[in-house]
Amino acid sequence: MDFRAEQALVKGILDQDNETLKAFYKNNFHSIENLILSKGGTNEDAKDVFQDGMIALYLNLKNGKYTSMDGHGLEAYFMQICKFRWYDKVKKKANKEQSLEHMTVEPSEDAAGFDIVDEHYKIHELIQKLGDKCQTILRLFYWEKKDMVAIASYLNMESDSVKNAKYRCIMQLKKLAFDR
C-alpha cells in the first residue's frame, strides 16, 4: 500500500466511512481470525478482538499516536494491536480462572511465555506515552530492524542526531518504567 492509499485509508477510518470499514474488515479479519484460532481462541474471540482492535486503532489515529511506516504500516500496526488485545484477554481469563479455583499454579514454560507477552505489552504501553518522534525511532530500530542511516534518511535527520535521539528516547522509556 503506498503512502496516498494509506492516508486515504486513515481518513476513511477516521471519517467512519462505511465502504472503507468494510474493505478494511474484508482485508484484515481473516488474518486476525487465523491468529486467534492458532492461539486456541474461537471465532467469537476473533470477532471480539477485531472489534476491540478497531476501537483502539480509531482512537490511536484520532489522537495522532500512529505514524505511517513503509507502506504496509497501518495493517501491520492493526495486527500488533490485535495481538496485544488477544494476549491481554488470555491473561485476564487465566487470572480469573486461577482466582475462581483458588489454586496455585506452578511456574511452567507456558507461564514464562505469558510473562514475556506481559512484558512486551507493558513496554508497548510505555512506548505509547513517548512522543511521536521517539515512537517512530524506536519502532524503526527495534521492530523493523532499520539501521541509523536508514532511520536518518526516513526522518530527514543526520545519523548522529538519530543516534542521540534514540539514546534520549531510551532514557525517557527507562524513566517511565522506573516511575511506574
Amino acid identity for residue 26 in this structure: K
Tens of pLDDT, residues 65-89: 887 654 458 888 899 899 989 988 8
CA distance 161 to 174: 20
Percent of the chain with pLDDT over 70: 81
Q: How far is CA 43 from CA 46, 88, 94, 95, 135, in A?
A: 5, 17, 19, 22, 33
Coil/strand/helix, residue 65: coil
Tens of pLDDT, residues 124-142: 778 888 888 888 888 888 7
* Residue 104, pLDDT score: 46
pTM: 0.53
For residue 98, pLDDT over 80 is answered with: no
Contact 57, 81 (CB under 8 A): yes
Average confidence (pLDDT) over 115-131: 72
Show me where the domains of the chain are located. 3-108, 129-180
For residue 160, pLDDT over 80 is answered with: yes
| Residues 6 or more apart whose Cβ sits within 8 Å of residue 149 | 159
* Residue 36, pLDDT score: 92
Least confident of 55-59, 83-87, 107-111: 107-111
pLDDT level of residue 19 (50, 70, 90 thresholds): very high
- For residue 155, which of 143, 142, 140 has the smallest C-alpha distance? 140
Q: Domain 3-108 classified CATH 1.10.1740.10?
A: yes
List, in sequence order, the alpha helices (H) in 63-102: 73-101
* Residue 93, pLDDT score: 76
